[in-house]
A = this chain, B = another copy of it.
């Protein structure tokens, strides 16, 4: 193998390993070796060790296929909460059966980043129906991710179970009781009598597929 200018091969190795890792697939030293046609494993190890020292890679010691991308690559974004990626159940028709049955029979699962302090069972996802929240940028067909934990707070966007139907509205709590306010001039504020409405949780994330 001919000797290459300093740093050149190193960069190629980095790009290869990075792309593997982005594909969610940590390569072994020998896989990298084969890819580049090196005749010694040690060549690869030298490069990877150097890359770790440069801070371009991170290694979990004592572990096969233990190379990782440093945090700033793997975390969703600096200001997003760090957490685990978990399959959150996407509920179909909440109206038909009760809410509990809907949780048990999800239409599918959504990979969602949830905080380490929370449990997967605190979350579910729901398809939005109707235009009533379009003023808040929540359109029909959007998917909302809902957190069930905690007591409802005035001003939050919540999912309420009302007459066997789940709806997304902004919650307001006053001395007159509970108000569910749409954010669209064409819709009226709901003032459900006590006992007829259950707050399922608050909306923490929104996803929309376009086209």
Give me the interface of A with B, judged by CB distance under 8 Å: 18-19, 22-24, 26, 28, 64-65, 72-78, 80, 84-87, 90, 106-111, 113, 120, 134, 137-139, 142-143, 156-157, 202-211
Contacts and interface: CB of A to CB of B under 8 A. Distances in A.
A209 B22 CA distance: 21
A159 to B, nearest CB: 12
Contacts of A207: 205-208
**Cβ-closest 6 pairs across A and B:** A77-B108, A206-B208, A24-B24, A137-B137, A137-B139, A64-B64
Contact of A80 (B80, B138, B209): B209
Nearest to A207: B207
Given A18-B87, A23-B85, A64-B65, 9 more contacts: A19-B84, A19-B86, A24-B86, A65-B65, A73-B87, A111-B113, A157-B210, A205-B208, A207-B208
Copies in the complex: 2
A210 B158 CA distance: 11
A156 B73 CA distance: 30
Contacts of A77: 90, 107-108, 110, 143
Given A23-B85, A134-B137, A139-B137, A109 B210 contact: no
B208 A23 contact: no
Contact of A138 (B137, B156, B209): B137
